[in-house]
Amino acid sequence: MGFFKNVFGSSEPKEEKLLPWIALTDLNQLEAIAKASATKTQFIFKHSTRCGISRMVMNQFVAAYNLDLNTDLYYLDLLSYRDVSNEVGYKFQVMHESPQLLVIKNGVVVAHASHGAINDMDLAKFV
């Protein structure tokens, strides 16, 4: 029976890893993020809920994310909050992509990546 379990997977539910996401839903949060980044690194993960690639990258990000990082981790559903997504690009001077991760320190983006490059980032070096 172990062979079939290894090939086809277990029917037992996997425990999901929950990240300390902060929903980014309001334009006013962007100024608070910039201000907080003076003392604590801020991450913004922009996600398209209709895109399979975005979902895959987000799942990989969640699986690899180190919960010990002392950061604030924002989640932006860019389809539901298009105005916030647009303002992120203007405020932090980063061209829109999806999925996209922005690393903000001292009010500016110090690193960003999109698609598979998100999971290649060494986030610990920005904390």
Residue ranges covered by each domain of the chain: 17-126
State the Cα torsion 101-63-22-40 to the nearest 10°.
-70
Residue 36: per-residue pLDDT: 98
Cβ atoms 99, 121 nearer than 8 A: no
Place of tokens 């990240």: 19
Residue 37: band (very low, low, confident or very high) from pLDDT cuts 50, 70, 90: very high
Say whether domain 17-126 belongs to CATH 1.20.80.30.
no
CA separation for the pair 5, 24 (Å, rounded)? 40
Residue 67: per-residue pLDDT: 86
pTM of the full predicted structure?
0.86
User: If you average pLDDT over residues 13-41, what whole number do you get?
Assistant: 91
